[in-house]
Amino acid sequence: MHPAYSVIFFTTATGAGYGLLACLGIFAFLGFIEAGFWFRLVSLGIAVALISAGLLSSTAHLGRPERAWRAFSQWKSSWLSREGVAAVATFIPTAAFGLGWVLLGLDGGWTAAAGLLSAIGAAVTVSTTGMIYASLKPIAQWSSRYTLPAYLIFAVMTGCVLFNALLSSFGQPFLWVQTTSLLLTGCGWAWKRATWRHNDGQVTGTTLNSATGLMGGEVRSIEWPHTEENYVLKEMGFIVARKHAAKLRLIAQALTFAMPFLLLALSVLLREVGWLAALFAMAATILQLAGMLVERWLFFAEARHTVALYYGR
């Protein structure tokens, strides 16, 4: 599939934003965060900014962005529509959470409940995003048991690592958050490698014979019915060279998992040196988000749509 940059940014930004929102909502609900006004304002502001920027960027991939509102009407049958409904609905408890937790400085009560609802809304929205791709049966790399969990794992991973960096930057390192960030980064790495192994070992039973319904011989594509690449080939027949994919996989693993894991481990070991631990935690966040952009690019570029069979791909 053609890796559209707007969608790559959308999945990366909203994943981190919803992950951070979930962390804030859950920790506020449990009463684990005793932070001042500026931490609350900055952390929630970053979460909402990432979510909003990601959602707005996703409309750039549409042919007629001004008609995006019409997608909301298909929520009974479309995961894309459900994603839009869930995203908008999540802003309601998030606004209440921001009012109580940030502006009024309240903890517990309705503010905590709003934080928990925000976290639930974040999880639901990320799940609907994952299901957009997991439900596409013509694309074997996406229509698997690995896709939906990957969206949830990467969202909570990037959100928690960002949450840890914010806590450290404001002089409030929380050992539980630091160790959870480490574990989630390791879990994300293991899940990504398992996904690649599954995709690389796939043997599809779809052929030109089965696609056309013609049996009793070998169906071959002699030539294209047009002289240059059309929309179908550009969007659904994108091909990335195997050597380039292998190199990008190494880069994605280094930036998204290996280097952040090392930096997070150093921030835990040096947590008594506050400024140094905060520096390592922030560097881990920046590298991981940059790596997620590479990982998302590969997620789209390595996907193969069945329609490419008609063009001999």
Kindly state whether residue 214 falls inside one of the protein's structural domains: no
What's the rounded Cα separation, in Å, for the pair 274 and 297?
35
> Residue 245 pLDDT > 70, yes or no?
yes
Name, in order, each residue with C-beta under 8 angstroms of 159's C-beta and a sequence gap of 6 or more. 15, 16, 17, 18, 19, 20, 21, 22, 23, 47
Prediction pTM value = 0.89
Tell me whether residue 209 is in a domain: no
Structure token digits, residue 103: 């502006």
| Closest listed residue to residue 304, CA positions, set 250, 240, 252, 246 | 240
**Distant-in-sequence contacts of 206-209, Cβ < 8 A, 24+ apart:** 206/306, 206/309, 207/309, 208/309, 208/310
**CATH assignment at residue 33:** 1.20.1630.10
149 within a domain of the structure (yes/no):
yes
Q: Are 279 and 210 in contact (CB under 8 A)?
A: no
For residue 220, being part of any structural domain is answered with: no
- Element (H or E) spanning 183, and its range? helix 175-200
Q: What is the mean pLDDT of the chain?
A: 87
Residue 145 within any structural domain of the chain: yes
**Calpha distance 90→297 (Å, rounded):** 27
The total domain count for the chain is: 1
The reported pLDDT for the residue numbered 140 is 83
In 3D space, the residue among 146, 157, 156 whose CA is nearest the CA of residue 299 turns out to be: 146
- Residue 220 · residue 303 · CB < 8 Å: no
* Coil/strand/helix, residue 241: coil
For 32-46, the pLDDT digits (tens) are: 877 889 999 999 999
**pLDDT (tens digit per residue) in 210-235:** 666 777 677 666 666 666 666 566 65
CA dihedral sign of residues 8, 13, 19, 25 = negative
Q: If pLDDT is split at 50, 70 and 90, which confidence band does 59 have?
A: confident
Domain holding 81, by residue range, is: 5-204+229-311
117 occurs within a structural domain: yes
DSSP state of 256: I
In a domain, 212, yes or no: no
